[in-house]
A = this chain, B = another copy of it.
Amino acid sequence: MILKIKSEASDKEISDVKSWLDTNYFPYQILTRYGYSLIAIQKKFSAELADTISRLPAVEDMIDINKEYRLASLSWKKERTTFSVNGNLIGGNAINIVAGPCSVESEEQIFKVAQFLNSVGVKFIRGGAYKPRTSPYSFQGLGKEGLKLIRKAADAFGLSVVTEVIDTSLIDEIAPYADIIQVGSRNMQNFYFLKQLGKVDKPILLKRGMYARIDEWLMAAEYLLTEGQEKIIMCERGVRTFDTTVRNTMDIAAIPLVKELSHLPVWADPSHGTGIRSLVTPLSLASIAAGADGLVLEIHPNPEEALSDGMQSLYLEQFKELLVKANPVAAAVGRVLENAAKSQNENFSNNHKTIEECVE
């Protein structure tokens, strides 16, 4: 249940609502978001109590939203969400590009990647320090050491860091090193974890659960939103189906669909979405054509020797070619790649005025 509070309600009137809820043992949460004053209540009222509360002076409307998201929906917030990360606009006209290895493996590896990204104008580096792995015998990441290395490499080359937090107990350790915190597919419905992340002052990259319906994915965003987090990026990364020819089935339709339902930006991760190197480029182009606001890609200086996800990691050279191919597709749908936008701007280009304005 959500109670919408009248904008003109007095403090006394609001206070009366709270007292009433306390007296009747209804746990609640106050939300002020997007210009609304709301009280979210986790239990249902009996018909009788519903009648009583709806007559309290402060209450404008009483909404049963047990099965729906509201804060995440485009109907409650009409303007698309954009925000800036170290001066890079997320959700704007320029398509953000994030690239990097599955795991931080060594100083040499991550510096090589960072230098390369800088050289092609990419602004975001990704890399895991604590890795979710199906087997306890697989490489689990370098941990704290990995965090320090990716931060150092990013700082050296002016990049922002995207890295995953896999557990509530690691939030405090990882957050200081990250510019964007990634929630992985397997954590998308760890609701307690989402609540804690909702309170962290870092943007969240919310990957879709490999088994999650669209509404469940948006409901996970709603968990973040109810706790105060507004900087959320949805990221399609493939779902699990009967066809195991590829690692996952990338649900490209989810990109325009979520943009139709929600104001949040939507990125695409064709590396996990396919799991096969040769499919990453065509699916990156498809994602852009379908309206993706960003791409997250696994690259590695030496994929055959990668400690994880080698099969789906692009060679650095392949990634460069991908950018070359992606650029005209972005243009075909009225967008520009972030790295191209930047590098063209650097020279005082006047070609992309609009986009220049957007990305700042």
Interface residue ranges, A against B (CB under 8 Å): 1-2, 27, 40-44, 65-69, 130, 132-140, 166-170, 186-187, 189-193, 195-196, 209-216, 219, 222-223, 226, 239-246, 249-253, 255-257, 260, 273-274, 276, 278-279, 282-283, 285-291, 307, 325, 328-329, 331-333
Copy tally for this chain in the complex stands at 4
Find the B residue at minimum CB distance from A70. Answer: B137
A285 vs B239: C-alpha distance when bound (angstroms): 21
Q: Report which of B190, B253, B279, B282 forms a contact with A279, defined as CB distance below 8 A.
A: B253
Contact (Cβ within 8 A) A285 B278? no
A239 vs B243: C-alpha distance when bound (angstroms): 9
Q: Which residues of B contact A215 (CB under 8 A)?
A: 245
- 5 A-B pairs within 8 Å (CB atoms) are namely A40-B137, A67-B135, A135-B222, A136-B226, A250-B251
Q: Which residues of B contact A223 (CB under 8 A)?
A: 136
CB distance from A12 to the nearest CB of B (A): 26
CB distance from A188 to the nearest CB of B (A): 8
Q: Report which of B187, B192, B290 forms a contact with A282, defined as CB distance below 8 A.
A: B290
Q: Which residues of B contact A249 (CB under 8 A)?
A: 239, 241, 249, 251, 253
Contact (Cβ within 8 A) B328 A331? yes
Q: A40-B136, A42-B140, A307-B43 are in contact. Are A242 and B256 (CB under 8 A)?
A: no
Q: Which residues of B contact A42 (CB under 8 A)?
A: 137-140
Find the B residue at minimum CB distance from A141. Answer: B42
Contact (Cβ within 8 A) B170 A192? yes
* Top-4 shortest CB links A-B: A211-B211, A328-B332, A289-B289, A285-B289
Q: Which residues of B contact A44 (CB under 8 A)?
A: 307
Q: Report which of B65, B209, B214 forms a contact with A137, defined as CB distance below 8 A.
A: B65
Contact (Cβ within 8 A) B166 A169? no
Contact (Cβ within 8 A) B241 A242? yes
* Given A256-B278, A256-B283, A285-B333, 7 other A-B residues pairs in contact with their CB atoms under 8 A: A66-B135, A69-B135, A134-B189, A166-B191, A167-B193, A246-B257, A253-B279
Q: Report which of B135, B168, B333 forms a contact with A65, defined as CB distance below 8 A.
A: B135
Most buried by B among A226, A239, A257, A285: A285
A43 vs B135: C-alpha distance when bound (angstroms): 12
Q: Which residues of B contact A260 (CB under 8 A)?
A: 278
Q: Which residues of B contact A333 (CB under 8 A)?
A: 285, 325, 328-329
Q: Which residues of B contact A332 (CB under 8 A)?
A: 285, 328-329, 331-332
Find the B residue at minimum CB distance from A170. Answer: B192
A86 vs B278: C-alpha distance when bound (angstroms): 35
Q: Which residues of B contact A219 (CB under 8 A)?
A: 134-136
CB distance from A171 to the nearest CB of B (A): 9
Find the B residue at minimum CB distance from A273. Answer: B253
Contact (Cβ within 8 A) A191 B132? yes
Find the B residue at minimum CB distance from A105. Answer: B43
Contact (Cβ within 8 A) A243 B256? no
Q: Report which of B168, B222, B256, B289 forms a contact with A288, defined as CB distance below 8 A.
A: B289
Q: Which residues of B contact A65 (CB under 8 A)?
A: 135, 137
Q: A135-B67, A332-B328 are in contact. Are A255 and B243 (CB under 8 A)?
A: no
Q: Report which of B66, B241, B290 forms a contact with A283, defined as CB distance below 8 A.
A: B290
CB distance from A198 to the nearest CB of B (A): 9
